Structure 1
Amino acid sequence: MLDFIGLGLYDERSITVEGHEALSECDRAFAEFYTSKLAGATVEELEEYHDVDIEVRDRAGVEQEPEPILDAAEGGEVAFLTAGDTMISTTHVDLRLRAHERGIDTRVFHGVTAQSAASGLTGLQNYRFGKSVTLPFPYAHGGEDVPKSLVEGLEDNRERGLHTLVYLDIKTEREEYMSADVAAGMLAEGWADELAVAVARAGSPEPIVAADRLSTLAEREFGDPLHLLVVPGDLHHLEAEALKAFGGAPAELVAVE
């Protein structure tokens, strides 16, 4: 049996009760934190809280060399742990398919996602989000500061009046996490100086939500990771009120005709 368990957004307590119970019943636990991580907990804190030993795998150890995980799952109960929801990344879907091909039963224990948290914290309605995009570090893609594909994604969503969730690049092996102010500055210069919402440490006891022009957000400090940005599309009047109330948005930027 291979259980895919989402750990939630922030620390060792962000997991669901169902996920915690499933983890406690497993013989071995593997995890990856290259797609995301828990900013509020170390691996050691996770192990102590859940009373398990966790074997952390890098990207190659999941995507190219998954045999140790699958072999263990053929002979016992195995947990595969990730931050957020466990099936957001195609990496994890691929691992589940490999297990299926080998006749290994799988179960999925979902966790809270950054997208649902961003919607809830900002007050922007979840069904009005379009395709998400990722803003990479410039050195990671070797091109312009803002990739053309990201701009196209933003523009496609805006043409349909939809909001865009902008994931910010992380390099866990280098302990490097793009901050919302850096991302806002890149978008203000490489795309357009539009209304955006910075969200920092979603899922923590004290998350930050700030709505303003990208150039203004670029001048702020949002503290420890993880961060993301939301670029709103057309606003419903309730969304506009939420951005003013919860994000401090200037009234002129969220005026609804």
Structure 2
Amino acid sequence: MLTFVGLGLYDERSVTLAGRDAIEAADRVFAEFYTSRLVGTDLESLEATHGTDIEVRDRAGVERDPEPVLAAAETEAVAFLTAGDTMVSTTHTDLRLRAENRGIETRVIHGTTAQTAAGSLTGLQNYRFGKATTLPFEDAHGGDGVPDSVVSTIEANQARDLHTLVYLDIKVDDPHWDDSDDTYMTADHAAEQLADRFPEQLGVVVARAGSPDPTVVADTLTALSEREFGAPLHLLVVPADLHPIEEDALTELAGLPEKR
């Protein structure tokens, strides 16, 4: 049995009760933290909370060498942990399909996602979010400025009057749960990049979703580029035209300026 467990958004307490039970019942527990991170905790705290050893796999250890995980799941109860919701990333779907093709039973225990948290914290209506996109660091895509794919996603969503959730890049140089070499793109950095293409566009920053002190700020991308939003993780939403209730929500919850 291979059980995929989403750990939620922030720390060791963000996992659901069903996820906690699956981890405690597992014979072996694997995890990856290269697609996203629980910035409010560390590996030792996760292990202490769940009373188990967690074997962290890097990208190559999941995508190119999944054999240790699959072999264990053929004879034991195995839990595979990820931040957020476990099936948001394609790499996890690939691992699940590999298991199913080998006759290994799988199940999924969901965690809170950044997308649903962004809607909940901002007051933007969930059904008005279109295709999401990821803004990479400049040196990650070998070019200057914002990739055309990001611009086209925002423009296509706006043409359909839909909001765009922009995930911000994470560099993880060390494949294990040591964040000394990690770099998280900040929302002000992202806003600065996007303001070159959309200078007067409204943006909404969501910082530390799932934590006790999330930050939500709405203003033009140009104005957001001049502010700081504290510790990671950050998200950026590029809204479409606002419904009156959405505008009221951003005014009350995110300090949306009357004139912008």
TM-score (norm 1): 0.97
1:249 to 239, 252, 256: 256
Q: Distance in 1 between matches of 2:144 and 2:127?
A: 31
1:8 matched residue in structure 2: 8
SS in 2 for 1:48: helix
1:95 matched residue in structure 2: 95
Q: Distance in 2 between matches of 1:143 and 1:192?
A: 20
Q: CA deviation at 1:192?
A: 3.4
Amino acid at match of 2:219: D
Asked whether the equivalents of residues 151 and 191 of structure 1 are also in contact (C-alpha less than 8 Å), the reply is no
1:213 aligns with 2:220: yes
1:169-189 Cα distance to aligned partner (Å, 9 max, x none): 001223000000110011101
Q: Distance in 1 between matches of 2:172 and 2:108?
A: 25
2:122 matched residue in structure 1: 122
2:177 matched residue in structure 1: none
Q: CA deviation at 1:99?
A: 0.1
RMSD, aligned α-carbons: 0.8
Structure 2 alignment gaps of length 5 or more: 174-180
Amino acid at match of 2:45: E
SS in 2 for 1:251: coil
1:202 aligns with 2:209: yes
Identity %: 64
Amino acid at match of 2:231: D
SS in 1 for 2:48: helix
SS in 1 for 2:140: helix
Asked whether the equivalents of residues 27 and 77 of structure 1 are also in contact (C-alpha less than 8 Å), the reply is yes
Asked whether the equivalents of residues 164 and 237 of structure 2 are also in contact (C-alpha less than 8 Å), the reply is yes
Asked whether the equivalents of residues 134 and 168 of structure 1 are also in contact (C-alpha less than 8 Å), the reply is yes
Q: Distance in 2 between matches of 1:251 and 1:161?
A: 21
Asked whether the equivalents of residues 198 and 221 of structure 2 are also in contact (C-alpha less than 8 Å), the reply is no
TM-score (norm 2): 0.96
1:181 matched residue in structure 2: 188
Amino acid at match of 1:187: L
Amino acid at match of 1:17: L
**Structure 1 residue runs of 4 or more that deviate by more than 6 Å after TM superposition:** none
1:237 matched residue in structure 2: 244
Q: Distance in 1 between matches of 2:130 and 2:7?
A: 25
Asked whether the equivalents of residues 203 and 237 of structure 2 are also in contact (C-alpha less than 8 Å), the reply is yes
Query: How many pairs align?
Result: 253
SS in 1 for 2:26: coil
